[in-house]
Amino acid sequence: MKIITFLLKFISLTCLIFIYMMVSCFVTIFSKRSSRRKNLCLNCSYFSKIGLKFLGIRVKKCADISQFQNKSYFIVSNHVSYIDILVISSFFPASFITSVEVAKDVFLGTLAMLGGSLFVERRKKSRLIKDLETVSDVLESNLNVVLFPEGTSSDGEKILPFKKTLFRAAIKHSVPVLPLYLRYVSVDGMPVSNNNRDLIYWYGDMKFFPHFMSLLKLNSINANLFILPEISSVSKSSHQLASIAFQTISNMHQSATHM
């Protein structure tokens, strides 16, 4: 039965990814430059919703999302898997900030580029300053930007310290920070634990394709998306913003862990 599930998902997702790439290329060619990234993000959001259904991932929103859809945000979230991107994108059309290392990956880099992602180089100060300006320009165009401020995905045991530099983009245009907390609660009907979390979580030295192939064998994944109170960026430093966002998400992590 698992072989049939795997084959159906593999074929369906292969077709979905192909169609996504074709539509994204069409959007890239025929959109005006001023609206191209926004249209790519909207397209990515649409296909993310379909992708979640194909993967058997059900997400419970722990807030009324309609109140957050009329303005742009600098969205920050914890990060444990590439699935996080599908979940967040399905609710918030946004440009995701990712590393230049992802851009170098032919498959993942292409998918990210066609989804309107921003690629930043954190290790070089001169390049980071230039990337910061790009992020600021995207926020100024009234498009959501998503940052995983931990800088990498983790095993979910704790929230890693936040890198603060890119919070300056929110401050520059007085864009509020919207913290999210994403928690995967069950896989194939069993609560997520240390024994099965790596079926979902992708971190450290895990290879993408072997992990993704294993993911396709799963029947269902349930997750909760907590939309936490927005944080004003007015009259705050990047250090203050990062600290408040970190504490907000860490507190939610502690609460959710003991639910």
E strand residue ranges, the chain: 57-61, 74-77, 94-99, 118-120, 144-147, 177-187, 190-191, 221-227
The rounded distance, in Å, linking the Cα atoms of 238 and 128 is 15
* Amino acid code (one letter) for 11: I
The rounded distance, in Å, linking the Cα atoms of 161 and 101 is 21
pLDDT number for residue 259: 66
The rounded distance, in Å, linking the Cα atoms of 43 and 122 is 27
Domain span holding position 153: 2-257
Query: Of residues 62 and 246, which shows the higher confidence score?
Result: 246
Query: Of residues 15 and 63, which shows the higher confidence score?
Result: 15
For 204: left if phi > 0, alpha if psi spans -120 to 50, otherwise beta; the answer is left
The mean pLDDT of 12-23, rounded to a whole number, is 97
Contact assessment for residue 162 and residue 179, using Cβ atoms and an 8 Å cutoff:
no
The rounded distance, in Å, linking the Cα atoms of 198 and 196 is 6
CATH for 209: 3.40.1130
Neighbours of 166 (CB within 10 A): 24
3-state secondary structure 212-235: HHHHCCCCCEEEEEEECCCECCCC
Q: How far apart are the first and last CA of the chain?
A: 33
The mean pLDDT of 15-29, rounded to a whole number, is 97
Total domains in the chain come to: 1
143: CB partners within 8 A, 6+ apart: 37, 38, 41, 72, 93, 94, 95
The rounded distance, in Å, linking the Cα atoms of 249 and 259 is 15
Q: Which tens digits make up the pLDDT trace of 73-105?
A: 999 999 999 999 999 999 999 999 998 888 889
Instruction: Give the pLDDT band (50/70/90) at residue 1.
Output: low
Q: Which tens digits make up the pLDDT trace of 220-232?
A: 999 999 999 999 9
Percentage of the chain with pLDDT > 90?
78
What's the half-sphere exposure (Cβ side, CA atoms, 13 Å) at 207? 4
* pLDDT, averaged across the chain: 93
pLDDT number for residue 5: 78
Tell the residue number behind the tokens 């419970």, with chain if given: 60
Tell the residue number behind the tokens 């399905």, with chain if given: 90
Three-class SS state of 44: helix
Phi, psi of 231 (to 5 degrees): -120, 125
